[in-house]
């Protein structure tokens, strides 16, 4: 586990721990956390709204708020967020140990579990196909993609769907399949007519559709589950995350965060 000497806590964690009150100063709060508290460094990949993104230079999103709330219920302290391209997160966790936990809407898969461990699931998702609103290309199934150009973010299950459903069967040529460092770049290419479709997790697709001139053509039901990623063998930390996750579910915090980012009641 990465240890830091810093005693600062994030704004959201501070507000949660103090109930939003300014009566308790940060110095006093740090004392309550204890001098020997282990600080964990979280990592994410911005550009995946509403799970993680930058607004006015600040890292925000569902995963950011949720992890901060979960860790606030444990004996650990959350350090400063580190950001990477999505496919750089697992190496940053396992090879370089630059981070201690991944909060990046990462799907729990058997392949990933060969390298890292996961917390209990905190979200379920399917894959959606984004196309230009009012455009000529409006597919209803994978077979409709013949001759189309399609994109996804590198290292994601969306990219896996493109490979298994389009490239491997020969519906789409390898040269017509593009990967991007972030879905923001992929959707920009879609809007600029450089590609015809983007395959992305459904809630993220809904966010793009609400803010861009794109629409969801159809949804592939994959039943994916997101979890926080951590190094294998860290059972104490894993248990702490799972207990914290259950606590925020039970006390209503999870629903509040969900309402904030997804408008669900």
8 Å CB contact between 61 and 53: yes
CATH architecture of 125-223: 3-Layer(aba) Sandwich (3.40)
In the chain, ranges of CATH 3.40.190.10 domains: 11-122+227-262, 125-223
DSSP three-state, residue 99: coil
pLDDT tens track for 31-40? 334 456 799 9
What is the β-pairing status of strands 123-132 and 214-226? antiparallel
- The torsion defined by the Cα of 181, 184, 188 and 189, in degrees rounded to 10, comes to 30
How far apart are alpha carbons 113 and 132 in whole angstroms?
35
Residues in the chain with pLDDT values less than 50: 2-34, 265
pLDDT tens track for 99-132? 999 999 999 999 999 999 999 999 999 999 999 9
Q: Is 114 left (phi over 0), alpha (psi -120 to 50) or beta?
A: alpha
Q: pTM of the full predicted structure?
A: 0.81
CATH architecture of 11-122+227-262: 3-Layer(aba) Sandwich (3.40)
Q: How far apart are the first and last CA of the chain?
A: 37
Query: Looking up tokens 């994959």, which residue turns up?
Result: 222
């Amino acid at each position: 586990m990465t240890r830091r000497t810093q005693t600062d806590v994030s704004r959201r964690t501070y507000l949660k721990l103090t109930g939003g009150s300014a009566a308790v100063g940060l110095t006093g709060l740090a004392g309550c956390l204890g001098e020997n508290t282990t600080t964990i460094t979280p990592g994410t990949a911005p550009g995946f709204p509403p799970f993680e993104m930058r607004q006015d230079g600040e890292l925000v999103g569902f995963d950011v708020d949720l992890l901060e709330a979960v860790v606030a219920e444990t004996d650990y302290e959350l350090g400063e967020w580190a950001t990477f391209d999505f496919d750089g997160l697992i190496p940053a966790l396992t090879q370089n140990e630059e981070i201690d936990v991944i909060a990046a809407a990462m799907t729990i898969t058997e392949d990933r579990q060969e390298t890292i461990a996961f917390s209990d699931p905190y979200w379920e998702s399917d894959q959606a196909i984004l196309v230009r609103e009012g455009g000529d290309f409006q597919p209803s199934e994978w077979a409709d993609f013949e001759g189309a150009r399609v994109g996804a973010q590198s290292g994601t299950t969306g990219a896996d769907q493109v490979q298994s459903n389009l490239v491997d069967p020969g519906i789409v040529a390898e040269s017509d399949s593009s990967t991007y460092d972030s879905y923001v770049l992929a959707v920009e290419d879609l809007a600029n007519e450089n590609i015809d479709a983007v395959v992305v997790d459904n809630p993220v697709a809904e966010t793009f559709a609400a803010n861009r001139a794109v629409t969801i053509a159809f949804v592939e039901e994959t039943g994916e589950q997101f979890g926080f990623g951590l190094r294998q063998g860290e059972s104490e930390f894993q248990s702490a995350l799972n207990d914290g996750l259950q606590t925020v579910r039970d006390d209503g915090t999870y629903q509040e965060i969900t309402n904030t980012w997804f408008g669900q009641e």
